Amino acid sequence: MQAADAQSASPPFPHLGAILVGGDIDFVNVAHIGNVQAAIFTVYPGYNVGGKTFAQQVTAVKALNPNIKITGQTNIMELASYEKVSTDAHYPEYVAVNTNNWWLRTSYPGGSIVTDTFGASAINIMSPNLTGTGQTYRQWQAAWTVSFSTKLAPNVDGVNTDNFFYAPRDSGDYLQNGTSQSASAVAQNWRNAYADWVTQLRAAMGPGYMAWGNVADWRSGSIQGYNQVLNGGVFEGAIGMSWSPESSSWATLMSAYATDMNALAPFNGGGPYLIFNQDGSLSDYQGVRYGLASCLLDNGYFYYTPGPYNTIGWFDEFTVNLGAPVAGPNNPTNGTYSNGGLTVWQNGVWRRDFTNGIALVNPKGNGPQTVTLETTYKHFSGTQDPSVNNGQSVTTVTLNDRDGVILLRVNAQPVPDAPTLTVQ
């Protein structure tokens, strides 16, 4: 059985993730890599870092945590200037794109190649041009990507496609009719092409592997054609960037989170594997609690980064074993935020119950709030922010505006009874 075929039950909460795509990374030596359950790794033809091939790196990481799900990173919509150099690992991709005129041009076939939003040469992912063997760009790219990812590393769990946008960011002659179309005019064509890309990728990988994608902008427009296409991916910049949905409001953040979770499909009884990414300072303990508690209202995998995607920000809260979600005072059906099972609990504060404790989050703009617990809970003992994580027992807790907290049950106390209906 391939490693990708083996699926375990959902790991205890908090679910943790990692995005490790910031250059050449010796994954097995990244601090805390064995403690995360969903990760995205850089991969390219001939990858060898720390004396290990990609397959050997994946094997070493899975020896630390056999249940971790790992996908290799790819990007099908652009080529950077360095990737056009004959000594670069992606040069064969450049040759294929150039030979078959798969570029996105201002006008087809001879207009200028579009420089995209990220400063790279744009590829027309919906090009109908065929290779000499009758392959579309998406078919060729799928076979090529698999050749240096799942084929060489059968112990990886699939492929993550970056920039899985709801619409392109740039104008160009996508339809190859001699004129330039706006991004909005071809948005559905773009989504159809990405959906077909996943079809081709799955055909090339085989049924034992997952397809993930960077779904960070799905909140911004129609995602018709994307429903249940992917098994996971990245909710990039959920918190901490100028363009983050949380910069507008907590409700906007959670609406985006729900959109992504509802659109993704489980795989072999696990997932979906959505990595909830927050950017910020390693000393912003309140901000971490706020982001983690927000993530805990659903089943995403929390990843905090202080900068480039090559480290895992680590906090005391990550060592707490909350166990599995259970029904609670504001969640009688043991649901999630995305399926509507959770409702606001008290004074605008949200809550989710687990076998070993609870997570509380006070949304931005709600002001400081004190909530009364139905029984005694306790803070866990930590070293990073001992004023909060002090091991003390409490029956009330005060949260600052834009704050969160994890509390543990005392003496394995039973879960509070959820409301029941009485038949008259």
Q: Which amino acid makes up residue 32?
A: H
Q: How far is CA 168 from the centre of its chain?
A: 20
> Residue 166 belongs to a domain with what CATH number?
3.20.20.70
Report how far residue 271's alpha carbon sits from residue 267's, in angstroms, rounded to the nearest whole number.
6
Whether residues 30 and 170 share a domain: the answer is yes
- Please provide residue 304's backbone torsions phi and psi, each rounded to the nearest 5 degrees: -110, 130
In the chain, the number of structural domains is 2
In a domain? residue 424: no
Residue 8's pLDDT is 45
Residue 424's pLDDT is 30
Report how far residue 336's alpha carbon sits from residue 144's, in angstroms, rounded to the nearest whole number.
38
Question: Helix, strand or coil for residue 413?
Answer: coil
In a domain? residue 269: yes
The per-residue pLDDT for range 90-134, each reduced to its tens digit, is: 999 999 999 999 999 999 999 999 999 999 999 999 999 999 999
* Cβ count near 265 (within 10 Å): 14
By C-alpha distance, which of 224, 232, 242 is closest to 264?
Answer: 232
Burial of 326 (0-12, 13-18, 19+ CB in 10 A): middle
Residue 24's pLDDT is 94
Whether residues 411 and 307 share a domain: the answer is no
In a domain? residue 423: no
CA distances from 74 to 179, 307, 404 (A): 29, 20, 35
Report how far residue 214's alpha carbon sits from residue 231's, in angstroms, rounded to the nearest whole number.
11
Q: What angle do CA 113, 114, 117 make, to 5 degrees?
A: 150
* Cβ count near 129 (within 10 Å): 16
Asked which of 288, 319, 350 is the last residue of a domain, the reply is 319
In a domain? residue 351: yes
> Residue 386 belongs to a domain with what CATH number?
2.60.40.1180
Whether residues 68 and 90 share a domain: the answer is yes
Asked which of 319, 352, 367 is the last residue of a domain, the reply is 319
Residue 3's pLDDT is 39
The per-residue pLDDT for range 142-153, each reduced to its tens digit, is: 999 999 999 999
List the 357-362 sheet strands across, edge first: 325-326, 350-354, 357-362, 403-409, 369-379, 393-399
**Alpha helices (H) in 20-116, listed in sequence order:** 54-64, 91-99
Asked which of 277, 303, 319 is the last residue of a domain, the reply is 319
CA distances from 272 to 32, 75, 158, 211 (A): 22, 21, 13, 11
Residue 410's pLDDT is 92
Whether residues 67 and 154 share a domain: the answer is yes
For residue 372, the enclosing domain spans 324-417
In a domain? residue 247: yes
* HEC letters along 125-171: CCCCCCCCCCCCHHHHHHHHHHHHCCCCCCCCCEEEECCCCCCCCCC
Residue 4's pLDDT is 40
Whether residues 310 and 371 share a domain: the answer is no
CA distances from 83 to 78, 116, 160, 395, 424 (A): 10, 15, 19, 59, 72
Per DSSP, what are the bridge partners of residue 267?
270
pTM above 0.75, yes or no: yes
- Please provide residue 379's backbone torsions phi and psi, each rounded to the nearest 5 degrees: -70, 145
- What is the mean pLDDT, run by run of 10 residues, along the chain of 424 residues? 45 96 95 98 96 97 97 98 96 97 98 97 97 96 97 97 98 98 98 98 98 97 97 97 97 98 97 98 98 98 95 97 95 96 97 97 98 97 96 97 97 50 32
> Which two structure tokens, joined as six digits, stand for 52?
């290990």
Residue 10's pLDDT is 79
Whether residues 311 and 355 share a domain: the answer is no
Report how far residue 62's alpha carbon sits from residue 69's, in angstroms, rounded to the nearest whole number.
9
Question: Helix, strand or coil for residue 242?
Answer: coil
Residue 418's pLDDT is 42
Whether residue 299 contacts residue 12, with contact meaning beta carbons closer than 8 Å, is answered with: no
Whether residues 43 and 104 share a domain: the answer is yes
